[in-house]
């Protein structure tokens, strides 16, 4: 009998259990840490699980991620690399990610932070406006999310560029690729949006060196992964005005520790890893579809290249 182990640490199992009960009543649904007999587990559906736990499931045939990013799963040195791992591709997350990026762009581009401060001081003062065609935005990562963000911003008239590992051609978006293309890309990015996956190559990429390559006085919108950001370098870049503002959704330690200086920083906007949340019919149907496809011997969507790390 197919038996699915659900383990998250952050997601409520109820909607997932209900979706399986409705569409695949033949599948036994177990919720971590109530694994039962580990030999019975045939599939896993996880955001994050205790280190070494997957290794103890000798008959697991496929692992489905509860997220688009999977670094938190494969960082476990004992992760069973011979078992296929499937991440969420879009699955209702794309529109949410684009909304989040758009919110950050509009907030900074339209100087809403400054207007809020002026309102608090009862000050009626018009600031100089910048036309979208003169606002240069850079999107790091041109995958499912980055492409949608770049396309949406370009359609709104912004001057948009994107950076990816391999070259991409996108109408209305200037493309840069690889380490050789990074400097030129950064040099034109007044607003930098990060939607990279966290891999060995991208860990710590949002560092002082990178901030120094930006035009200066711009904004960072960071919705990739906490491990991309060197927090002390961000604080220094804000202090030195190399960056004017940062909107951060992801952090090296989540929840963000109570003593983090980011909480109260006047030019930092913190959100608790909510840019996109996978509790929707779209996400459950993608996982169910992948589950069914895998059982039929067809290729599910989102197979992770473990060696590349995404
Ligand atoms: P994809 O795999 O579709 O896209 C990843 C993009 O990053 C690709 O364009 C890829 O290049 C590029 N990339 C990877 N490594 C490098 C590198 N070393 N240098 C330059 N570019 C690189 O991922 P998604 O768009 O689906 O998701 C992106 C990330 O968003 C997730 O991994 C996750 O970390 C984050 N996320 C955050 C959420 C939140 O709520 N804050 C929610 C969901 C996801 P190429 O095209 O050449 O392969
Ligand atoms: C994801 C996330 O990777 O929520 O889907 O961060």
**In terms of domains, do 118 and 169 share one?**
yes
The pLDDT assigned to 105 comes to: 99
How do residues 176-226 score in pLDDT, each as one tens digit? 999 999 999 999 999 999 999 999 999 999 999 999 999 999 999 999 999
Q: Is the CB of 69 under 6 A from ligand 2?
A: yes
| pLDDT-derived band at 290, boundaries 50, 70, 90 | very high
Per residue in 277-289, pLDDT tens?
Answer: 987 799 999 999 9
Q: What CATH code is carried by the domain that includes residue 58?
A: 3.40.50.720
Residue nearest to atom 4 of ligand 1 (CA): 143
pLDDT recorded at residue 303: 98
Closest CA to 265 of 243, 294, 289: 243
Q: What is the pLDDT of residue 160?
A: 98
Range of 74's domain? Answer: 3-91+278-295
Which of 225, 265, 293, 296 is catalytic? The answer is: 225
Cβ of residue 225 lying under 6 Å from some atom of ligand 1: yes
Nearest atom in ligand 1 to 225's CA: 34
Could you read off the pLDDT of 156-184 as tens digits, one per residue?
A: 999 999 999 999 999 999 999 999 999 99
For residues 9 and 32, the answer to whether their CB atoms sit within 8 Å is: no
Confidence grade of residue 255 (pLDDT, cut at 50, 70, 90): very high
How far, in Å, is the centroid of ligand 2 from the Cα of 250? 10
Both 126 and 255 in one domain: the answer is yes
Residue length of the chain: 310
Average confidence score pLDDT of the chain:
97
> Do 251 and 148 sit in the same domain of this protein?
yes
**140 inside domain:** yes
The residue-averaged pLDDT of 135-153 equals: 98
Tens digits of residue pLDDT in 1-44: 999 999 999 999 999 999 999 999 999 999 999 999 999 999 99
Model confidence at 70, pLDDT cuts 50, 70, 90, reads very high
Tell me the CA end-to-end span of the chain in Å, nearest whole number: 31
Q: Round to whole Å and give the CA distance between 165 and 195.
A: 13
Same domain, 282 and 264: no
Summarised one tens digit per residue, pLDDT across range 179-190 is 999 999 999 999
Residue 225 appears among annotated catalytic residues: yes
Q: Please report which ligand is nearest the Cα atom of 148.
A: 1
254 and 145 in a common domain: yes
Residues 120 and 8 in one domain: no
Q: How many domains, in total, are found in the chain?
A: 2
pLDDT given at position 278: 82
| Torsion, CA 98, CA 102, CA 103, CA 106, rounded to 10 | 180
Q: What is the pLDDT, as a whole number, of residue 61?
A: 98
Total-model pTM: 0.97
**Is 55 one of the catalytic residues?**
no
In a domain, 302, yes or no: no
Q: Per the domain annotation, does 198 fall within a domain?
A: yes
Residue 240 lies in a domain: yes
**Residues 142 and 123 grouped into a single domain:** yes
Share of the chain above pLDDT 90, in %: 98
Q: Are residues 242 and 263 in the same domain?
A: yes
**pLDDT value of position 41:** 98
By CB atoms closer than 10 A (0-12, 13-18, 19+), residue 218 is buried
Could you tell me if 115 and 66 lie in one domain?
no
Using the Cα atoms of residue 212, residue 68, residue 45 and residue 297 in order, give the sign of their dihedral: negative
303 assigned to some structural domain: no
85 and 150 both lie in a single domain: no
């Amino acid at each position: 009998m197919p038996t699915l182990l659900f383990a998250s640490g952050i997601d409520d199992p109820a909607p997932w259990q209900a979706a399986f009960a409705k569409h695949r009543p033949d599948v036994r649904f177990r919720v971590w840490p109530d694994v039962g007999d580990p030999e019975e587990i045939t599939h896993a559906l996880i955001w994050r699980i205790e280190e070494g736990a997957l290794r103890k499931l000798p008959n697991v045939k496929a692992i489905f991620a509860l997220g688009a990013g999977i670094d938190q799963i494969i960082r476990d040195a004992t992760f069973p690399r011979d078992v296929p791992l499937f991440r969420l591709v879009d699955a209702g997350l794309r529109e949410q990610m684009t909304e989040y990026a758009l919110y950050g762009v509009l907030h900074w581009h339209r100087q809403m932070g400054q207007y809020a401060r002026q309102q608090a001081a009862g000050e009626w003062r018009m600031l100089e406006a910048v036309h979208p065609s003169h606002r240069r935005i850079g999107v790091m990562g041109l995958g499912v999310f980055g492409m949608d963000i770049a396309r949406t911003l370009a359609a709104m008239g912004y001057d948009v560029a994107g950076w990816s590992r391999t070259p991409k051609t996108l109408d209305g978006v200037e493309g840069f690729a690889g380490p050789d293309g990074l400097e030129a890309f950064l040099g034109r990015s007044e607003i930098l949006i990060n939607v990279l996956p966290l891999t060995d190559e991208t860990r710590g990429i949002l560092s002082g060196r990178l901030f120094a390559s930006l035009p200066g006085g711009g904004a960072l919108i960071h919705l990739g992964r906490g491990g991309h950001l060197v927090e002390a370098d961000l604080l220094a870049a804000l202090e030195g005005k190399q960056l004017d503002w940062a909107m951060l959704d992801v952090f090296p330690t989540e929840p963000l520790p109570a003593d983090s200086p980011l909480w109260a920083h006047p030019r930092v906007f913190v959100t608790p890893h909510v840019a996109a949340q996978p509790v929707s019919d779209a996400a459950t149907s993608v996982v169910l579809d992948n589950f069914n496809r895998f059982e039929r011997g067809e290729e599910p969507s989102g197979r992770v290249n473990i060696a590349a790390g995404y």
